[in-house]
Structure 1
Amino acid sequence: MELTHTDVDRLLSRLGPEGGALYLPGDLDPEALDELLDARYGTARTLVSDGAADPAADASRGGALLVPFEGRAVSMRAWAYGDRWVGSGTARDAAGVERPVLAAARREVSIPPRGEDVDWVERLVAITGWTEPARRRDAAWAETESRLGTALPSDYKRIVDTFGAGAFDGYLGLNQEPWTHYREEGLLIWAGTEHEDLYCWRPTARIRTGGPSWSAPPTARTSPSTARRRSSSAGSSSTRTTASRWPTTSTPTGS
């Protein structure tokens, strides 16, 4: 049996908002299902391997996915996505036969409220359920800023330090240092999407001033190749530049 993303949507809808578990046909390849979920939700955490459950797999780490199997799970990987856990693997059914399974469960997310004093990095960590240690403790930001000739936003640096290389929702890729492809336009690129939309800053002060370097809002810029593709269907040759807030609050799942 070969699954598509449409099939996965249909199966998850059967589980409903409260979650539950489904035993799937025996001819379905569990690894193929994992690949579909990886492509959709990003990096998974392992809850069960060779019948042994991770002792740290509590409610905050997807442990609720294991409840319907009552100790019969043989393997299980879990993805955090917004207020939901999604899991796949194999488990023994009532007859003792190991079969592929798909599970879902509610996920409690404690998100700091919006406001002027909100710590955006803490908010992003809460939204993602990120529990891994900092990925880039040794980032040489002083060297990078000196080379770029401008200071970088402290929250951007903290997000890179925390999450490291990867993409949020498998969609928004975080640059480990700003790209300079549009430096002649006064833009530094901090992220990009799978559709080649580029998210940029416009620095307004040089590092030697010692003052704030980023008084202008970030911008989203469509790369020329994407603009050409879009213009061919929309009848326009102009690129898109819009204001956006930093940081993004799309629901990432890891890096």
Structure 2
Amino acid sequence: MGWSTAEVARLAGVSVRAVRYYHEIGLLPVPERRANGYKSYGAVHLVRLLRIQRLSALGFTLAQIGDLDEPGPHTEALFRSLDVEIADKIQQLQQIRNELRDVLENEVQEGLPPGFSPPATGAVVTERDKSTLSVLGQLLPAERQERLKEWLATSTVDSTADDDFEQLPDDADEATRADLARRMLPAARAAQNSRPSADPTPPTTARAIGTALRDIYNPAQMDVLVRVATLLDAESA
């Protein structure tokens, strides 16, 4: 006497619904029925269900499992294709794990985009800094991103103006803004000179960055950043 649908499903570790679905798509042959009208499953059905489960666990789709029923050159190709796909996923997961390790080892990096390290000066990375780096890490051309990462990780420029910039109120007076821009200039100059041959930022990207920065910083801080950029341009002229 064979097994009922519920019994073979339990033995194979699948649901009754899955067994019925496999019948519908032709992946599992329909067994003969007993005199009472109920299906009677045998070892061949159990083995088939176990194979479906194993191949599914390896990552094959049900359609691919059906294709594997007929041995041929395509069979090896399917396995090799899946192997490449799994290798790519492993690489992606390893990258995620490396980033997670960075966060665990140094909490100040939490929220920073991949590849960015804490400042070499030991300065605290504020939430606004993290937001800015996230935007720049997404929008800047690749070479400019590398310039920024290298400078942040290796620069020893003493930027004591950072705290004042972070605390700058939106109603700061003219003298305070001008003085702060001059004090921030050395760090900005060092960042610009770290890799002077970097690709220019496309105008549309520059506008997008400007829009994002205006949301991150208050008007006085934005004014200081514009002043710093103006001073840099004047030096390059």
- Normalized per residue, the structure richer in strand is 1
The TM-score with structure 2 as length reference comes to 0.20
- Normalized per residue, the structure richer in helix is 2
Larger relative contact order (Cα-Cα within 8 Å, sequence gap ≥ 6): 1
The TM-score with structure 1 as length reference comes to 0.19
